[in-house]
Structure 1
Amino acid sequence: MTGKKIIGIFLLVLLASCGKQEAGTTAIGIIAPLTGEGATYGAAMKRGFDLALKGASAKLIYEDSRLNPKDGASAFQKLVSLNKTPIIYGAAASGVSAAIAPLANKSKVVLFSSISTSDTLSDAGDYFYRNVPRNALQGKTAATFLAKDKGIQSVAILGENDEYGVNLASSFKQEAERLGLAIAYEGSYLSTDIDFRTKLQAIKESGAEAVFIPGNYEESGIILKQADELGLQALFIGGDGSYSPKLVAFAGQAAEGFYCTMMAIDRSTAKYKAFEKKFTDAYGKSPDVYDTYAYEAGLIIREAMEKQPDDMKSYLDNTSFDSFSGPLKFLSGDVDRLYGIEQIKEGKFSSL
C-alpha cells in the first residue's frame, strides 16, 4: 500500500470519528464568546452550563463566536455537520443568535440562549428558545424605574448600533414617552467607537436628567468614564449588556452608582441557595446573574435530553420547568418573566 493511500485512509477514519459519540452520550454544542469583546459573557455561560451538565451522559463541544455573527454561523455549521449535535446552547448577543437562528430552523436543531434578549428573536423561528425575557420588558423596566422611582422628567438615549442596542433603545423610548418623559437627546454609536465625548457633550447641553445607554459593558464603561471627565452630572442606566465586573474596570470610580436592568432571580428559595453553594464550592465565588441563567439553561437542556432525547423540541414545548423565578413554560420559544434593577455599590453590582 502506498504512503498516499495510507494517509487517505487515515483521514477518512479521522473524519468519521469526529462526528461519532460514545454509546449513550449526547453531543451538545455550545456557541459562546470565549475570547475578545464579550468574553465575560462566555465565561459565565461556560461556568453555569458546565456545572449543570456535570455527571450527565453528554459531550460538551465549545466553539468561539467572538461575539461576531459570521463566526457564530460558522461555528453552528461545524457543530451540526461535523459533530452532529441535536441541540446547541447559545448564543450570546442577539445579533449572533439572529444570524444562527435561520440555520437552526433549516437544520431542525434546537438553539437555546440564556442571554439574547432582542424582541425580533420572537420571530426567529420554531427552533429558537431562550429562558431570558424580551427587551420589551427590559425597556419598560428601565423607563418605569426612572419615571416612578427616581422622578426623572427628561432623558437622553445613547445606544449601540446593533441588534441588541437598537431594539432595546426602541422599547425604552416607547415606554418613556408613554410615561411622559421628554427625550432630550437620541444618538447611537458603533462597537468600534472609543471616543464618545462629542455625543456626551451634546447630552450635557441638552439638560437631560438621566441617560439610557443600552450596549455592552466595554463601551458602557468607557462612556461612564468620559462622562465623568466632562462633568456630566446625570443618572446613568444601561441594559443587561452592561452587567459585568469589567465595566467597573473600564469606568473606574465613575461606575459607582450606575444602574442597569437585569433578569430577575428569587434568591430566597431553597433551589437558589442550593445552587449558590454548589457554584461557590466549584468556583470559589458567588454566582452572578449570567452564571445563574446559564446553569438554569443547562438544567432545562439536561432534563429534555434525559427525558425525551429523540425529540427534545417537543419536550421543551410541552413541559413546565422549575426556574429561579418560579414555574417556567415556553410559548413559541419565549418566556414570561421579569427584569429587576442592579446598582454598582462599592465597585460591585447589587440588586435593589
Structure 2
Amino acid sequence: MIWWLALAMVAAGCGQAEPVVKIGFVAPLTGDQAAHGADMLHGVELAIADAAAEGPVLPGYRLELVPLDDQRNPAQAVSMAKKLAADPAVLAVVGHLNSSCTKPASAIYHKARLLHTNPVSSNPDISRQGFDTFFRVCATDDLQGPAGARFAWQTLGARRVFIVDDLTTYGRGLANEFETAAQGLGFSVLGHEGITQGEKDFTPLLTKIKALGPDLIYFAGMFPEAAVLIRQRRDLQLSAKFLAGDGVYEPTLITLATPEAAEGVYVTALGADIHTVPTANTFVEQFERRYGRLGAYSAYA
C-alpha cells in the first residue's frame, strides 16, 4: 500500500507548476449537523499541520487539504466524491460523517482508486462491500447496538423499551441492532418507529409512547432531532429514561435540549473518551490550544 501511494503521488504531481498532494475531506460543514463536520475538519487540519511540520511526505511536494460540504445529503455526497475523483492530485479522502453519505461515496472512491479513510460512519454494511480502498477507524453498530442494550438491561435496569430511529442508513441500522439484542436479553419492545431528520414536533409520537408506559426510550439518530425529543419528553413529563447512540454524542445537544431536559440522558460512543488515553495527551493539548473544546470525532478524523 505504501509503494502504491508513493507511485500515485509521483503521477499526481507530474506537470504541475507547484506540485501538491491533495487530501480530500467531506462532511456536513453547513446545516444542523455542521458542528460534527467542523470538529472532524479541525482534526484533519491538525494532522496535516503536524505532518507538514515533520517535513514533506514526498520530497518536493506539499500537502493540501480540500474540504467539501456534503450537507448530510447522500446525493450531494456522491457529487462531492465525483469532484474529488476527477482531480488527479487527490490521492486520499477523509469522510464522511453520515453512513448514508459514506456508503454511496465509497463506491466512487473505490472506482477511482482513492484511499478512503472514514472516521465515524458506523454502519457495518459499508465495509462489507469489499472495497480494498476503504478503511475505518471506529467501531461499528453491530457492536454499539448490543452494547447499548446490555447497558440498558444491566446498568439502567430497563425492561420495557420503545425504539425510535431517524430512518437513515445509520439510524435504522443501529436501531435494528439494538432491537435484536434487546429481544435476546428479554426486553419487552413496545414499539419501533421512525422520524424524519429536520422534524420539529414529536409531541404526537411521545404522547403515544407515554401511554405505553416504557421505562426506556432508545433513539438511533443525530443530535438535532434528539434535542427536540429530549426537550419535548420533559414537557410531557415522560419519565422513561433516554438512551441514544453516538450520533447524539455532541455537547451542543445540551444547549439545544436545555441543560434541565438533558440531565440524565445516556449516550453510547464508538470508543473511549480521548481525554483518558495517555498517548493522546499531546494531540488533545494541541487541538484545544488551537481550536478550543475537543469535538466528539476530532481525534477519529
Alpha-carbon deviation of 1:283?
A: 2.0
Equivalent position of 2:74 in the other structure: 69
1-side partners of 2:116 and 2:46: how far apart? 19
Equivalent position of 1:42 in the other structure: 37
Equivalent position of 1:109 in the other structure: 114
* Match among 178, 184, 192 for residue 172 of structure 1: 178
The answer on whether the counterparts of 2:24 and 2:67 sit within 8 Å (CA) in structure 1 is yes
Larger mean Cα displacement after TM superposition, 181-190 or 262-271:
262-271
Q: Are positions 1:181 and 2:215 aligned together?
A: no
Equivalent position of 2:26 in the other structure: 31
Equivalent position of 1:274 in the other structure: 282
Q: Are positions 1:53 and 2:61 aligned together?
A: no
Alignment of 1:130-145 (within 5 A): 130-145=136-151
Alpha-carbon deviation of 1:149?
A: 0.9
Alpha-carbon deviation of 1:99?
A: 1.6
2-side partners of 1:273 and 1:123: how far apart? 34
Alpha-carbon deviation of 1:126?
A: 2.3
Aligned residues: 275
Alpha-carbon deviation of 1:263?
A: 1.9
Larger mean Cα displacement after TM superposition, 219-228 or 239-248:
239-248
The SS at the match of 2:191 is strand
Alpha-carbon deviation of 1:21?
A: 7.2
Alpha-carbon deviation of 1:288?
A: 3.4
2-side partners of 1:84 and 1:284: how far apart? 32
2-side partners of 1:269 and 1:158: how far apart? 32
The answer on whether the counterparts of 2:245 and 2:268 sit within 8 Å (CA) in structure 1 is yes
Q: Are positions 1:87 and 2:89 aligned together?
A: no
2-side partners of 1:289 and 1:192: how far apart? 21
The answer on whether the counterparts of 2:164 and 2:194 sit within 8 Å (CA) in structure 1 is yes
Q: 1:74-118: CA deviations, max 9, x gaps?
A: 111111213531111101100000120111121111221101001
Equivalent position of 1:226 in the other structure: 232
Amino acid at match of 2:140: R
Aligned in 2, Cα 1:128/1:151: closer, same or farther, shift over 3 Å? Answer: same
The SS at the match of 1:62 is strand
Equivalent position of 1:22 in the other structure: 18
Equivalent position of 2:133 in the other structure: 127
Alpha-carbon deviation of 1:227?
A: 0.9
Q: 1:132-172: CA deviations, max 9, x gaps?
A: 11101110111010101111111110110110110000000
Equivalent position of 1:263 in the other structure: 270
The answer on whether the counterparts of 1:214 and 1:238 sit within 8 Å (CA) in structure 2 is yes
Structure 1: 4+ residue segments shifted above 4 A: none
Alpha-carbon deviation of 1:37?
A: 2.3
Identical counterparts, % of pairs: 29
Q: Which runs of 5+ in 2 are unaligned?
A: 1-12, 53-61
Amino acid at match of 1:47: H
Aligned in 2, Cα 1:279/1:214: closer, same or farther, shift over 3 Å? Answer: same
TM-score, length basis structure 1: 0.75
The SS at the match of 2:152 is helix
2-side partners of 1:183 and 1:27: how far apart? 48
The answer on whether the counterparts of 2:21 and 2:89 sit within 8 Å (CA) in structure 1 is no
Aligned in 2, Cα 1:153/1:101: closer, same or farther, shift over 3 Å? Answer: same
1-side partners of 2:156 and 2:167: how far apart? 27
Alpha-carbon deviation of 1:269?
A: 4.0
The answer on whether the counterparts of 2:24 and 2:68 sit within 8 Å (CA) in structure 1 is yes
The SS at the match of 1:262 is coil
Equivalent position of 1:322 in the other structure: none
Amino acid at match of 2:89: K
2-side partners of 1:115 and 1:22: how far apart? 33
The answer on whether the counterparts of 2:27 and 2:95 sit within 8 Å (CA) in structure 1 is yes
The SS at the match of 1:289 is coil
Q: Are positions 1:197 and 2:192 aligned together?
A: no
Q: 1:164-221: CA deviations, max 9, x gaps?
A: 1100000000111111111012111111322111111111111110000111100000
